[in-house]
Amino acid sequence: MAASPSEDWKAMVAYVTRYRNLGGILGLLEWDQQVCMSGGSAGSRGAQVAELSKVRHAALSDPRCGDLARAVLGSADADLGPEQPSGSVRAAAARAVLRDHSRAAAVPAVLVDRAARARTAGFTAWNRAREAGQFHDFAPALAELTEVARAEAACHSVGEHLYDGALEGFDPGARVASLTPMFRRLGTALVPLVQAARNARAPDALALSVPEPAFERLNRHVLDAMGYDFERGRLDLAAHPFTVGVHPNDVRITTRLLPDAPLGTLGATIHEGGHALYEQGLPVEWFGTGLCRAAGAGLHESQSRFWENQIGRSRAFFRWLCPAMEEACGHTIDPDALYRSANRIEPTFVRVEADEATYNLHVIIRYELELALFEERLSVAELPDAWNAAYAEWLGLDVTDPRQGVLQDIHWACGLFGYFPSYTIGNLYAAGFGKAIAADMPDLLDRVEVGDLAPILRWLRERVHSRGCEVDAPTIFQDAVGDCDPVEALIQHLYDRQGALYGISRPIAD
């Protein structure tokens, strides 16, 4: 006897709940590895992660999972009663599950095992290489990670480029054919601003220092104002800041500690706080449906970059923050001087320490290097020289230490090929959200200046977080902001803020 639409729905939810819970456990293992675990445990952890990854992959790739999702999609018009989700929600859930199932089913279990082991070994090798400042200590692990990433991307028949398969796992619908010209348009517009800033008088950089105990209070002060719920999360330290969303009720933030560069630490905390707010705001009632997650990595990054830059670098924000900064530092601080210092245009080697104007140039460099690796125009052995040449071309910097160069980011060590573009996609979305929120809240800056950030979070919760992945990110963005060219919005935002600070006018287009 065929199952009823109600039974199909319940069975699909059971499948989804299982692999989402397995994913949460893997997230906890990742969090433990980066926050608590000693380096000598990497081998056993790699075996644990590989075993659990195979179990999760088996659950997601099980033909029964796809059959149930197709059955739910086919009966979405059926009325399951007032206690069950609407037909449109069930249809969206089935499409999301089918997408996940199809991606998982396309990757053989042997490759899943190989990838899990490569990523755990890669993280350990990267840590050792960073400590020693020697790229060749990481090169063999990176070569294996690159081969695995290319093999995984080849399993997915999307787009015209092998790299499209990597992009699809993070930002569904993103393609090399559209990203490359968009990134070039943005980079071409940013280089003149950066070059002009080099020739202009820069605002003074404030020398500030915050003791470690005071930093914990300062971080919590900012996260509390943003709306982060510590009852459903925690804050820890890590070599590279990250956020793990185990479940909307268990969202963990890490940040780095730079006592003599407190603005850098605060920026990392606000950035990860933006990610965490998104995770905590996802529709928990949809957890077992496949819809309780972000609609894309770029949209996720838009939340972190929005809070970090659109809000966290604003003059109004520093006027609110200044009393807490003064208490932490133990001396008087001019809030306007703090704002000017935080918005200096100063090309740096490290992406996570970059100013708003140069940040996307870091991302564009990595995107083009990844493309070259995928196209085999560049070997892993040649990567440091290619990296250094790109930094000289785009940012005018001479990289001499691989810890500030090719070894600085954790992404390749974790096999996250295809993720870097998400940062710039996120910046583009964030600029659009900032423009729309300012239009909807004429008193926005007045609210920020007194620390009243709750209306901002409500706006994002209603238009972004609560929608989960019922539709793809571009649709969520368009529904929230209307007709908006995000590249234009970001360029104009940067000239309005940093250009104005340096007295640089935007060039008139030909």
Question: What is the distance between the alpha carbons of residues 426 and 20, in angstroms, rounded to a whole number?
Answer: 24
- Rg, C-alpha atoms of the chain: 23
Q: Check: CB of residue 428 under 8 Å from CB of residue 478.
A: no
Choose the final residue of a domain: 121, 155, 189. Answer: 155
How does DSSP assign 359-392, residue by residue?
HHHHHHHHHHHHHHHHTTSS-GGGHHHHHHHHHH
Any bridge partners for residue 245, and if so which? Answer: 251
Q: In the annotation, is 272 catalytic? A: yes
Whether 163 is in a domain gets the answer no
Note down the domain range covering 72.
5-155
Examine residue 272 and state whether it is found in any structural domain, yes or no.
yes
Same-domain pairing of 146 and 196: no
If asked whether residues 143 and 197 sit together in one domain, one would say no
- Based on the fold, state whether residues 338 and 375 are members of the same structural domain: yes
Q: What is the pLDDT along the chain (510 residues), one digit of tens a residue?
A: 458 999 999 999 999 999 899 999 999 998 998 888 887 887 888 889 888 988 998 888 899 999 999 999 999 998 888 888 899 999 999 999 999 899 889 999 899 899 989 998 999 999 999 999 999 999 999 999 999 999 999 998 787 899 999 999 999 989 999 999 999 999 999 999 999 999 999 999 998 999 988 988 999 999 999 999 999 999 998 877 899 999 999 999 999 888 888 898 899 999 999 999 999 999 999 999 999 999 999 999 999 999 999 999 999 999 999 999 999 999 999 999 999 999 999 999 999 889 999 999 999 999 999 999 999 999 999 999 999 999 999 999 999 999 999 999 989 999 999 999 999 999 999 999 999 999 999 999 999 999 999 999 999 999 999 999 999 999 999 999 999 999 999 999 999 999 999 999 998 764
Residue 167 lies in a domain: no
The neighbour count for residue 100, using CB atoms within 10 Å, is 20
Count of domains in the chain?
2
**Pair (141, 217) in one structural domain:** no
Q: Please say which residue of 155, 187, 222 terminates a domain.
A: 155
Asked whether residue 164 is domain-assigned, the answer is no
CB atoms within 10 A of CB 192: 12
Establish if 508 belongs to a structural domain.
Answer: no
Domain final position from 125, 155, 185: 155
Query: Where residue 252 sits, what CATH number does that domain have?
Result: 1.10.1370.30
Residues 94 and 237 in one domain: no
Same domain, 225 and 346: yes
Same structural domain, 196 and 50: no
Same domain, residue pair 271 and 351: yes
Q: Do 399 and 450 have their domain in common?
A: yes
Is the domain of 100 the same as that of 215?
Answer: no
Q: Is residue 166 part of a domain?
A: no
Indicate whether 312 and 182 sit together in one domain: yes
Candidate list 272, 301, 308, 368, residue with the active-site label? 272
- Rounded to 10 degrees, the C-alpha dihedral 152/158/161/166 comes to -40
Same domain, 65 and 137: yes
